[in-house]
Amino acid sequence: MNCGEIRALLVEGTLPTGAAVDAHLRECAACGELLADGALLGRQMPAIGPEPVDAGVEALLGEMHAKLETDRGLSGYLRARSTPLRLVLALLGAALLVLSQLLFARRPDLELYPLGAMVSVLVSYALLLGSTLAVDLRPLQRAPPPRWLWIGLVASALIVPLVIAAGPQVHTAHALANRGAGADLIPRALRCFLYGGLLAVPLLLLVFALDRREHRSWPSLLLAAASGGLAANLSLQCHCPITHPFHLLAGHVTIAVALLFAYAVIGAVRMGRARNGWPA
């Protein structure tokens, strides 16, 4: 006797008895609960009858085909790539951003910038960006990331640029190093904010195209925003010669803040609509 046979007897209204039942109950505590106390629970569970056979499966399959038809084009192609390949594509996108700055808009003080400091900043941003993308593009057949992980990554996307910006000024050797302080603060900061923000847009679009979710959850929205902020700071690190902390805080770090705020607003609006039963 097994659980299914005991269940079948209870559903047809027969109380399971006999040596075979007793032998099963010695090994199965769950069935023991169903039959305990005069089968109190086992008598009541069958009150919820079998679900009616859904005659609409073919219609649902038809709707499914229509959905699959719309899942074509470049984004359909990208979303259907394997997860390792999607991650590589996202990282390549970030690498192209950095390369574009190094080739066409390199910071003029690169030779004066302490090598150790430059390497640590670039490696920190790259590792954090890679981790954020890996968690954001995680496939749905795997368990969702634990809360501490995605919150930690989003917080790090704010904290790491903040720490880098607020630390001791790496050098003042170049004429442009202290631009962006005093009266020049806001215009220069705004310029970098807009430039870095625009640089982040292609990566944000790429991450959107690679994400397989139909409905984005809070973690995926905020991780995407964090990726954009990190990519912007990484690119600006290769472009902007101003090392003054005020400029870095006002013009570079604020990009991540703005993106996180924007995505949080989008997420709140969408979830409010979902709770009210409106289309997302």
Partner 1 sequence: MKSDEQLMAAYVAGDVSAFDELFRRYAPMLLRVIGRQMRSPDDARDLVQQTFLQLHRARHDFDPSARVRPWLFTIALNLKREHFRRVLRRPEAPLELDGRSDPRVPPHDPTRSEVAQAVRSAIDGLPPDRREVILLHWFEGLSFPEIAELVGASVSAVKVRAHRGYVALRKELEPPSGNPRRPDGIGDRS
Number of residues interacting with partner 1: please give it, by CB under 8 A. 64
Does 48 bind partner 1 (CB under 8 A)? Our answer is yes
If you write DSSP's letter for every residue of 155-169 in order, what string do you get?
Answer: HHHHHHHHHHHHS--
> Nearest distance from residue 136's CB to partner 1, in Å?
14
**Piece of 89-97, 138-146, 221-229, 245-253 that binds partner 1 (CB under 8 A):** 138-146
CA dist., res. 23 & res. 142, Å (int): 38
Query: Which range in 49-57, 114-122, 157-165, 237-245 contacts partner 1 by CB under 8 A?
Result: 49-57
Closest distance to partner 1 from the beta carbon of 26 (Å): 14
CA distances from 90 to 20, 27, 57, 149, 276 (A): 59, 51, 37, 20, 34
Nearer to partner 1, 18 or 182 (CB): 18
CB of 20 to partner 1, least distance (A): 15
Half-sphere exposure of 235 (CA within 13 A, CB side): 33
Query: Is residue 47 part of the contact set for partner 1 (CB under 8 A)?
Result: yes
CB atoms within 10 A of CB 243: 25
Phi, psi of 15 (to 5 degrees): -80, 120
- Please tell me what DSSP assigns to residue 250: I
In sign, the C-alpha dihedral spanning 80, 216, 157, 175 is positive
x-or-dash pattern for partner 1, window 57-96, by CB under 8 A? x--xx-xx--xx--x-------xxxxx-x-----------
Distance of CA 176 to the CA centre of its chain: 37
- Helix, coil or strand: residue 145: coil
Per CB under 8 A, the list member of 130, 181, 212, 257 interacting with partner 1 is 212
Residue 142 vs 183, nearer CB to partner 1 = 142
Query: Which listed residue (26, 73, 115, 139) binds partner 1 by CB under 8 A?
Result: 139
Residue the block writes with tokens 């409010």: 272
Report the residue number, 60 or 123, with the smaller CB distance to partner 1: 60
**Taking the complex as a whole, how short is the minimal distance between the CB of residue 210 and partner 1, in angstroms?**
10
List 20, 22, 23, 40, residue binding partner 1 (CB under 8 A): 40
Whole-number Cα distances in Å, 236 to 32, 72, 134, 180: 66, 35, 22, 14
- Phi/psi of residue 247, nearest 5 degrees: -65, -45
Q: Report, in Å, the least distance between residue 78 CB and partner 1.
A: 10
Please tell me whether residue 18 binds partner 1 under the rule CB under 8 A: no
Site for partner 1 contains 50 (CB under 8 A): yes
Residues 246-275 within binding reach of partner 1 (CB under 8 A)? 271, 274-275
- 258 neighbors 189 (Cβ within 8 angstroms): no
Measured between alpha carbons, how far is 98 from 249 in angstroms, rounded to an integer?
20
Which positions touch partner 1 (CB under 8 A)? 2-4, 7, 10, 13-15, 17, 28-30, 32-54, 56-57, 60-61, 63-64, 67-68, 71, 79-83, 85, 139-144, 212, 214-215, 217-218, 271, 274-275
